A and B are shown apart, each in its own frame.
Chain A
Amino acid sequence: MKEKILRIIEKNSKITPEELAIMLGCSAQEVEAALAEMEIDKVICGYPTLIDWDKISGEKITALIEVKVTPQRGQGFDRIAERIFKFDEVETVYLMSGGFDLTVIIRGKSMREVAGFVSEKLAPMEAILSTATHFVLKRYKENGIVMQNDEQDERMIVSP
């Protein structure tokens, strides 16, 4: 049941426990218990909203930064990753295989702000060997949702 709940709320976290219960053929209490358990276990880590900020203010800018670091004895990459993800500007941090070590995605008000963060905060960190900053020009799809989706239901309105 947990997996079924997750597959539904992954697409639509606004759905109520009562509605979930109807859809899954169980009681609302069971759904609430499962949700609570998954929240405690951090299977569900939050219920954020996917926002297209471009429609509200053209000022926000997103950058993906490739970071090469020196792993530290005893702590690998975790310590340096933590130092990075604690900044509020940082949205996402991944440890990568391949040509660089960490992907850092940050969001700022302007290119200058992002550049400032990289040069003032990120690059000078002791363990960081190099950074390469890529600015995002357009967001097509995020978390499985197409951002500029103006597709309409093209089916005939009734059919046999």
Chain B
Amino acid sequence: MRDPLNKKIVGIKPSGIRKFFDIVSEMKDAISLGVGEPDFETPWHIREEGIYSLEKGRTYYSSNAGIKELRVEICRYLKRRFDLEYDPLKETLVTIGGSEAIDMALRVMLEKGDEVILPQPSYVSYEPCIVMAGGTPVIVELKEEDDFKLTREELLAAITDKTKILILPFPNNPTGSVMSREELAPLVDVIIEKDLFVISDEIYAELTYGEKHVSIASFPGMKERTIVINGFSKSYAMTGWRLGYAVGPEVIIKQMLKLHQFAIMCAPTTSQYAAVEALRNGDGDVGMMCEAYDGRRRFLLHELRRMGLSCFEARGAFYVFPCIKSLGMTSEEFATQLLKEEKVAVVPGTAFGDCGEGFLRISYAYSIDKIKVALGRIERFINAHRQ
């Protein structure tokens, strides 16, 4: 029989998280600080709107780009929160979570051999999506001493004459790093001068603690070269609804819409109606969740530092990224041993790129009581293994 498979696909490494998941799933009574989704349920008024849309019989396809009402609300929201102006009809595409938007954006923009600058540690999908779209990932290893932010020097050093796209993953999963207006500004000149495009993944934009999120698309000259990706999963605790969106220049969105139309048809109609309610009446929910995350974040940072782990001040998403190098173990050893000895699941930093070695991703999408129990076990583990 002939080989049924595509070599490029077979060649892609499975996600490091997947590997870890297989070990964890055998342990029934493990406490997890390993998830990348909110512990809150979707606020009831949003769920109720989804149920209502089903009752009303809105069980059909929507228009390919998403229901108009939702696209209008998305654009109002982006204006209100981040001072971004987009046309709901020409520059907005509703997708199956942010993930689809990342994939579509890369596929419509990349030609074989084009290079994409990818800062790591970062979310697991970018690299395989770049490869599948025929591009070449150029990894920039973000450093703890820079608080895992991308610097102008790092960006300049990574650019070649083949560079086409920069992926900007802030607020960042897994580090919790955010980039302020002052920190983005030095990148903007380089991006414009070198004629790069930016895919700015802002899925955690609502979850920042301290300064409000700034989108790079809000800089003069950047809107025409940026695809902003966002969605409902993190800010409104709607991961299972699978709903995200991309906004950007009409020429790019138009091609993404074409691909989306052939591959997906449209995002789930029920989710779209629920999302309209989220954008219209959900600001209070976001504020409540953000405040709760912030308290847990401070608690976790304080406790990890008290245990003697260095841990930079994460100001976004719902992760902290402590350094465990002082214990003389690799990230994977630490995570595996911690699971075996104390039954606590955390994710090794290496799941988010090789430069995540020496770090762990600890999620605080858990109640403070659960975090306390897990921290007690982590402390016992650290004390037992300190050299």
Contact = CB atoms under 8 A, between A and B. Distances in A.
Contacts of B34: 157-159
A23 B298 contact: yes
A15 B299 CA distance: 12
Given A155-B35, A160-B36, A25 B298 contact: yes
Contacts of A23: 294-296, 298-299, 368
Contacts of B35: 155-159
B37 A155 contact: yes
A22 B296 CA distance: 9
Contacts of B125: 160
Contacts of A156: 21, 35
Given A4-B291, A7-B291, A158 B24 contact: yes
A158 B32 contact: yes
A19 interface: yes
A160 B299 contact: no
Contact of B30 (A7, A15, A157): A157
Contacts of B345: 157-158
A24 B298 CA distance: 7
Interface string B27-50: 000101011110100000000000
A15 B368 contact: yes
Interface string B1-31: 0000000000000010100110011000010
Contacts of A159: 17, 21, 34-37
B385 interface: no
A22 B291 contact: no
B351 interface: yes
A2 to B, nearest CB: 14
B302 interface: yes
A8 B39 CA distance: 16
B282 to A, nearest CB: 18
B381 interface: no
B140 interface: no
Nearest to B351: A160
A34 to B, nearest CB: 15
A33 to B, nearest CB: 19
Interface string A1-33: 000100110001001000100111100000000
A7 B287 CA distance: 12
Contact of B299 (A7, A22, A158): A22
B323 interface: no
Contacts of A160: 15, 17, 36, 123-125, 173, 351
Contacts of B21: 156-159
B51 to A, nearest CB: 18
Given A19-B299, A24-B295, A25-B298, A157 B15 contact: no
A153 interface: yes
B170 to A, nearest CB: 17
A4 B295 CA distance: 10
B159 interface: no
B27 to A, nearest CB: 8
B95 to A, nearest CB: 17
B378 interface: no
Contacts of A8: 295
Contacts of A153: 32, 39
B18 to A, nearest CB: 9
Contacts of B298: 22-25
A160 B233 CA distance: 13
B266 interface: no
Contacts of B347: 158
Residue among A15, A23, A158 having the largest count of chain B Cβ atoms under 10 Å: A158
Given A22-B302, A160-B351, A155 B295 contact: no
Nearest to A22: B302
A159 B30 CA distance: 15
Contacts of B24: 157-158
Interface in A116-158: 153, 155-158
Closest CB pairs A-B (n = 10): A23-B295, A158-B34, A157-B32, A22-B302, A160-B124, A159-B36, A160-B17, A157-B24, A155-B35, A159-B35
24 contacts: A4-B291, A7-B291, A12-B368, A12-B369, A23-B296, A23-B299, A24-B295, A25-B298, A153-B32, A153-B39, A155-B32, A156-B35, A157-B24, A157-B25, A157-B30, A158-B17, A158-B21, A158-B24, A158-B32, A159-B34, A159-B37, A160-B15, A160-B125, A160-B351
Given A157-B35, A158-B345, A158-B347, 13 more contacts: A22-B298, A22-B299, A22-B303, A24-B298, A155-B37, A156-B21, A157-B25, A157-B30, A157-B345, A158-B32, A158-B34, A159-B35, A159-B36
